[in-house]
């Protein structure tokens, strides 16, 4: 079965046919680095990561580019507030972006182009647009003449005249049409600037994405993704800029991630109802956050709450338990270099779900159905050679699914884990001795104190096992 993708442009599910298989080119809108990013942004980045992991698993050779907007009004404002240079701000939060992304288990993009490194490309694109009559200079600014681009509005499915009806119109003498948008902004005193044919200034809000995607992925590429709120005007403008200049179709598939909500409303910095990834990671593990984000479909809004993160954590624990119980049952660690087959029915069901526009919710259900099946096998008193193979296959299959979601990586440092293991085993032994002489007060004390420390002991006919209590 082919992969199907919902394309915002056509508002339909389309069969995914890359321009040059097995190559797949993806451009994803990244952050403006003026602040720590919040988990709403995190959802979008996590979804990109899942797209990419799945496509790679399917055998595509993915080139994934995600930009960093490092020159923009917000950065300049922030710099003024803090009394530092805009570069200092963008540098600090670029670093934070990489740190936090990494902490969430997000794979770095193949290319992370920065706006300020691509001013010449932007100038060139603007020059082309002016030459083609799609843009005009006005007192040191350059604007895109929206009505000169026939397809304007085709992505967001709106007509210029409809928008005009309800929009608050900024009376700007320099614009020919209120909907025209800035490609180049004349520098104000104290602002960073670059020289250009139109004088000193800086690029407008949208031009960087057109310029950098063309530069790295070509004039036409496969997938362009972003948050839902970028459909208009950002992506609409990108299309106008790119197609207006090249006369070639820009992105083939447009994918948009729905919002993360909090308290029933869109999480946003202006509303103040946000939690940064940094803060969230103090309370929940990266994998719990990932599980939560991928437990619903990427085009459905999702409400963030402490409760839902706890649920996610409990679910994740269940899957981890299964993996752990297989390991305990089979004794030795199962090397993944072994020739162990996958559980084909599960893989097929998982694929069928993912091929339906990345239905992670359904794919997650497949994962848990396998967990239950493996647990049932684990509950049997005696295991045949076949059963053991089945368990090994199950483990391998679960780990495969986990790798697409970025789960089951384990989180604690291994060296610490070894020391800890020795210590806990010693305590288990002491407790065992206390139990043997029916000194249950001591036995219970050991267990209870360990529980307080986040370590739980579990007695079984084969002996006592321990594990960390996920939080």
Partner RNA sequence: GGCGGCUUAGCCAAGCGGUUAAGGCGGAGGUCUGCAAAACCUCUAUUGUUCGGUUCGACUCCGAAAGCCGCCUCCA
Using CB under 7 A as the binding rule, the residues of this chain from 343 to 402 that contact RNA are 356, 359, 361-362, 364-365, 368-369, 371-372, 375-376, 378-379
When the beta carbons of 23 and 317 are compared against RNA, the nearer one is: 317
> Per CB under 7 A, which of residues 158..217 are in contact with RNA?
158-159, 162-163, 165-168, 181, 205
Alpha-carbon distance of 214 to 249, in angstroms, equals 11
When the beta carbons of 23 and 383 are compared against RNA, the nearer one is: 383
The answer to whether residue 311 forms part of the interface with RNA (CB under 7 A) is yes
Compute, in degrees rounded to 10, the torsion defined by CA atoms 118, 120, 124, 129.
60
**Closest separation in Å from C-beta 247 to RNA:** 25
When the beta carbons of 19 and 160 are compared against RNA, the nearer one is: 160
When the beta carbons of 197 and 454 are compared against RNA, the nearer one is: 454
> Per CB under 7 A, which of residues 215..274 are in contact with RNA?
226-234, 257, 259-261, 264-270
When the beta carbons of 83 and 461 are compared against RNA, the nearer one is: 461
**Closest separation in Å from C-beta 380 to RNA:** 10
Q: Could you say which of 14, 110, 177, 303 contacts RNA (CB under 7 A)?
A: 303
**Closest separation in Å from C-beta 29 to RNA:** 4
**Closest separation in Å from C-beta 319 to RNA:** 8
**Closest separation in Å from C-beta 269 to RNA:** 7
**Closest separation in Å from C-beta 439 to RNA:** 9
Looking up tokens 């209590």 gives 469
Q: Could you say which of 98, 199, 301, 347 contacts RNA (CB under 7 A)?
A: 301
**Stretch of residues binding RNA (CB under 7 A), selected from 122-130, 338-346, 398-406, 442-450:** 442-450
Residue 306 CB-half CA count within 13 A: 4
> Per CB under 7 A, which of residues 20..39 are in contact with RNA?
29-32
**Stretch of residues binding RNA (CB under 7 A), selected from 135-143, 189-197, 336-344, 444-452:** 444-452
Residue 92-131 contact track with RNA, rule CB under 7 A, x = bound? ----------------------------------------
**Closest separation in Å from C-beta 337 to RNA:** 27
When the beta carbons of 166 and 335 are compared against RNA, the nearer one is: 166
């Amino acid at each position: 079965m082919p992969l199907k993708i919902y394309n915002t442009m056509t508002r339909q599910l389309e069969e995914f046919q890359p321009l040059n298989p097995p190559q797949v080119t993806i451009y994803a809108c990244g952050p403006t680095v003026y602040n720590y990013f919040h988990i709403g942004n995190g959802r979008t980045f996590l979804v990109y990561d899942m797209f990419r992991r799945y496509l790679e698993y399917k055998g595509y050779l993915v080139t994934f580019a995600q930009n960093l907007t490092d020159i923009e009004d917000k950065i300049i404002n922030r710099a003024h507030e803090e009394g530092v240079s805009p570069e200092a701000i963008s540098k600090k939060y670029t670093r934070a972006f990489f740190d936090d992304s990494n902490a969430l288990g997000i794979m770095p993009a193949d290319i992370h182009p920065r706006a300020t490194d691509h001013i010449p490309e932007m100038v060139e694109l603007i020059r082309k647009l002016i030459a083609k009559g799609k843009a005009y200079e006005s007192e040191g600014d350059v604007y895109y003449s929206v009505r000169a681009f026939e397809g304007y509005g085709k992505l967001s499915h709106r007509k210029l005249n409809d928008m005009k009806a309800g929009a608050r119109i900024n009376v700007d003498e320099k614009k020919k049409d209120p909907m025209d948008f800035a490609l180049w902004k004349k520098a104000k005193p104290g602002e960073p600037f670059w020289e250009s044919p139109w004088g000193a200034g800086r690029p407008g809000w949208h031009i960087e994405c057109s310029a950098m995607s063309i530069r790295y992925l070509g004039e036409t590429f496969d997938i362009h993704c972003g948050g839902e709120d970028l459909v208009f005007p950002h992506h609409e403008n990108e299309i106008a800029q790119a197609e207006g200049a090249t006369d070639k179709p820009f992105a083939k598939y447009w994918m948009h991630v729905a919002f993360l909500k909090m308290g029933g409303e869109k999480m946003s910095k202006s509303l103040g109802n946000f939690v940064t990834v940094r803060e969230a990671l103090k309370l929940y593990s990266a994998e719990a956050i990932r599980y939560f984000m991928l437990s619903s479909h990427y085009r459905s809004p999702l409400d963030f709450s402490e409760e839902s993160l706890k649920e996610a954590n409990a679910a994740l624990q269940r899957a981890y338990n299964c993996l752990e119980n297989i390991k305990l049952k089979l004794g030795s660690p199962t090397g993944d270099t072994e020739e162990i087959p996958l559980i084909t029915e599960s893989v097929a069901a998982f694929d069928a779900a993912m091929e339906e526009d990345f239905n992670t919710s359904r794919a997650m259900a497949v994962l848990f159905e396998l967990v239950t099946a493996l647990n049932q096998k684990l509950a049997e008193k005696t295991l045949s050679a076949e059963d053991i193979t089945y368990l090994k296959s199950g483990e391998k299959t679960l780990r495969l699914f986990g790798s697409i979601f970025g789960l089951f990586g384990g989180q604690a440092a291994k060296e610490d884990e070894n020391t800890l293991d020795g210590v806990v085993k010693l305590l288990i032994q002491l407790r065992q001795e206390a139990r043997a002489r029916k000194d249950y007060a001591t036995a219970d004390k050991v267990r209870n104190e360990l529980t307080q420390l986040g370590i739980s002991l579990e007695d079984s006919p084969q002996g006592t096992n321990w594990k960390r209590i996920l939080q």
